[in-house]
């Protein structure tokens, strides 16, 4: 039936008027099979030119053998041009040179002094909107409910429900008061069954906390 909400296992969840689907938008969970990715239900990405490999398109330095992980929560919205620069892209830079001699030969790479140690995971919370062309740097931790403006370069820890923009990214303002943020994090609506979420669509999208609590 046309009114059924798509399963989180749907590859192309956006139908077009002619009955086809929008190839440039995918739910990430069913299209990424990668040992270093963890993806929540209903998180999606869009691209004007859909790639054949969404994992490489979004996180080109996250290899199968990388020690770090990329963790993305539920209901995240990832615009065209977003890229996650994960820790395996790093060079060692605490010495006199950052040149990665070990990757070009001269013996096994493992344990060589020109190789950096394992880097941190990159963690994106739930219901995070990453605008066009955002760059997320290694080890960034973006809290649930954040909005990241187009072209922002994000590092470090971003508190939940912050609006962030710029290079380097700065918190412009918080979306809600501390009390409302605390209540939203307590409610964890993203963990509700999809039927309950849709029943609360009005409250969620208009910011009516009283109506949301009643639902």
Active site residues: 91
State both tokens at 198.
């849709």
Q: Which of 61, 46, 72, 176 is nearest to 125 (CA)?
A: 72
CA distances from 120 to 73, 93, 136 (A): 17, 16, 13
Helix (DSSP H) and strand (DSSP E) numbers for the chain: 6, 15
CA distances from 43 to 10, 19, 84 (A): 11, 23, 15
Total count of residues recorded for the chain: 215
What is residue 48's DSSP assignment?
S
């Amino acid at each position: 039936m046309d009114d059924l909400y798509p399963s989180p296992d749907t590859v192309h969840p956006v139908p077009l008027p002619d009955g086809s689907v929008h190839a440039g938008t995918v739910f990430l969970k069913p299209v990424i099979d990668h040992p270093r990715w963890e993806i929540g239900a209903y998180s999606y990405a869009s691209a004007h030119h859909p790639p054949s490999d969404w994992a490489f398109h979004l996180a080109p330095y996250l290899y199968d053998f990388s020690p770090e992980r990329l963790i993305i929560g539920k209901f995240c919205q990832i615009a065209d041009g977003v890229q996650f620069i994960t820790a395996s892209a790093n060079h060692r830079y605490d010495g006199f040179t950052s040149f990665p001699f070990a990757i070009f030969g001269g013996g096994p790479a493992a344990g060589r002094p020109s190789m950096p140690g394992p880097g941190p995971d990159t963690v994106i919370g739930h219901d995070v909107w990453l605008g066009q062309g955002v760059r997320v740097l290694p080890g960034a931790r973006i809290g649930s409910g954040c909005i990241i403006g187009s072209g922002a370069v994000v590092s470090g820890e971003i508190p939940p429900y912050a609006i962030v923009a710029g290079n380097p990214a700065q918190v412009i303002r918080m979306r809600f008061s501390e009390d409302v943020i605390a209540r939203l994090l307590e409610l964890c609506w993203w963990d509700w069954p999809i039927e309950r979420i849709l029943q609360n669509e009005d409250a969620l999208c208009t910011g009516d906390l009283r109506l949301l609590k009643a639902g």
